[in-house]
Amino acid sequence: MEKSHPRILITGINGFVGQSVAPFFAERGYDVVGAGRREFKCDGVKFVPVSRIDRYTHWGAALTGVDVVIHLAGRAHKMKESPEDQHLYYETNVEGSVNLAEQAIKAGVEKFIFVSSIKAMFSGACEEPLVESLPCRPHEPYGLSKLKAELELQKMTEKSAMKLVILRPPLIYGPGVKGNLASLIKIIRRLPVLPFGGIANRRSLLGVRNFASAMEVAIQSESVNDKTYLIADGEEITTTDLVRRLIAVFNPSARLVDIPGWIWRVGCAIPWLSEKVARLTGSLPVDATLFTRDTGWKAPFSMTEQLKD
């Protein structure tokens, strides 16, 4: 791209990632348009309301003059999902993404960055590091919808002038984080003794500021066009190490206690507890060296810096 500061549309501006990514780009002089359900106020960001995302959404006002789309919006993974609601993953994540991309092509958008998920590759735990060349084997609605969206976007853009970049992050952390990590932080804040020692798994995480930095590189680099990448901080960590770092930030007086491995194995065998224990003790390492090799990008912020945020 010839322009050093293209006009960017960020969808899902009200989400956990969008709230951090939008100021990141605005502070660097980018012309940012943010689309979301609720008004978003930030210097340098023009807000455009979008009530829902599906195949009927009209993106005309949001796409006016836009060079790059960063598509963050989508139906997020939910642990307790009603079977009757699972079709919404397809309607939002697949049909909604395809509809946006179709309108972006017609509007002359140069690059479309689709934020997918590591769950498009694999559902659950995995001991070996995931790399882009491995086959995708999601088996739950969220991951399946993200993978289907990737495939549909690839088919659309291969015959168009718009370039596609697919980014698959693992668990993202940062200010306003939700889900499992938010629940873990609440526990750490409240308890003086924390039974999370001795968990010898391997996890890759991604700080939201590092993610924003990687997105900027994806915008500026031609070498990433029409490719799919895993993105991570580059540091594998055990759940025990993560808890130790969270203790240092949120509850320095708390004590970390080791739990024998057989107790965790028993927990995995209890039906109502097995899923929670598996999320806590399972491994999911990510090898993100391909993006680094293609672009020279390295995570600019340490985990400790971002946890303090």
Same domain (yes/no): 140, 193: no
Same domain (yes/no): 118, 194: no
d(CA 284, CA 214): 20
| Three-point CA angle 205, 23, 107, nearest 5° | 100
Per-residue pLDDT, averaged over 90-99, amounts to 97
Instruction: Report the pLDDT value the prediction gives residue 126, as an integer from 0 to 100.
Output: 86
Per-residue pLDDT, averaged over 145-149, amounts to 97
Instruction: Report the pLDDT value the prediction gives residue 2, as an integer from 0 to 100.
Output: 45
d(CA 228, CA 210): 18
Same domain (yes/no): 43, 191: no
Instruction: Report the pLDDT value the prediction gives residue 49, as an integer from 0 to 100.
Output: 96
Hey, which bits of the chain come out as E strands? 7-11, 31-36, 45-49, 68-71, 111-115, 163-168, 171-173, 193-197, 203-207, 227-230, 236-237, 255-258
Q: Is 293 left (phi over 0), alpha (psi -120 to 50) or beta?
A: alpha
The predicted-structure confidence for 21-57, as pLDDT tens digits, reads as follows 999 999 999 999 999 999 999 999 999 999 899 999 9
Instruction: Report the pLDDT value the prediction gives residue 144, as an integer from 0 to 100.
Output: 95
Three-state SS at 248 = helix
Q: What is the DSSP letter of 218?
A: H
Same domain (yes/no): 72, 215: yes
Instruction: Establish if 309 belongs to a structural domain.
Output: no
Instruction: Report the pLDDT value the prediction gives residue 267, as an integer from 0 to 100.
Output: 83
Instruction: Report the pLDDT value the prediction gives residue 76, as an integer from 0 to 100.
Output: 85
Instruction: Report the pLDDT value the prediction gives residue 272, as an integer from 0 to 100.
Output: 77
Same domain (yes/no): 48, 66: yes
d(CA 143, CA 118): 8
Nearest CA among 300, 274, 306 for reference residue 176: 306
The predicted-structure confidence for 50-84, as pLDDT tens digits, reads as follows 989 999 999 999 999 999 999 999 998 765 666 66
Same domain (yes/no): 186, 157: no
Instruction: Establish if 272 belongs to a structural domain.
Output: yes
Per-residue pLDDT, averaged over 287-301, amounts to 96
Per-residue pLDDT, averaged over 110-138, amounts to 94
Per-residue pLDDT, averaged over 198-208, amounts to 94
Same domain (yes/no): 73, 113: yes
Q: How many CB atoms lie within 10 A of CB 128?
A: 10
Instruction: Report the pLDDT value the prediction gives residue 1, as an integer from 0 to 100.
Output: 42
Confidence of residue 89 (pLDDT cuts 50, 70, 90): very high
Same domain (yes/no): 131, 212: yes
Instruction: Establish if 48 belongs to a structural domain.
Output: yes
Matching residue, tokens 């938010």: 182
Task: Write b or e for each residue in 237-270: b if 16 or more Cβ atoms lie within 10 A of its Cβ, otherwise e.
Answer: bbbbbbbbebbeebbeebeeeeeeeeebeebbee
pTM of the model: 0.93
CATH of the domain at 295: 3.40.50.720
Instruction: Establish if 213 belongs to a structural domain.
Output: yes
Q: How many CB atoms lie within 10 A of CB 156?
A: 18
Instruction: Establish if 307 belongs to a structural domain.
Output: no
Same domain (yes/no): 127, 225: yes
Instruction: Report the pLDDT value the prediction gives residue 46, as an integer from 0 to 100.
Output: 96
Instruction: Establish if 306 belongs to a structural domain.
Output: no
Instruction: Establish if 90 belongs to a structural domain.
Output: yes
Instruction: Establish if 164 belongs to a structural domain.
Output: yes
More confident residue, 270 or 170: 170
d(CA 273, CA 238): 20
* pLDDT over threshold 60, residue 3: no
* pLDDT over threshold 70, residue 200: yes
The boundaries of the domain holding residue 193 are 179-202+237-281
Same domain (yes/no): 67, 167: yes
Same domain (yes/no): 209, 139: yes
Instruction: Report the pLDDT value the prediction gives residue 81, as an integer from 0 to 100.
Output: 64
Instruction: Report the pLDDT value the prediction gives residue 293, as an integer from 0 to 100.
Output: 97
Same domain (yes/no): 113, 222: yes
* pLDDT over threshold 90, residue 124: no
Catalytic residues: 142
Q: How many domains, the chain?
A: 2
pLDDT mean across residues, the chain: 92
The predicted-structure confidence for 214-250, as pLDDT tens digits, reads as follows 999 999 999 999 999 999 999 899 999 999 999 999 9
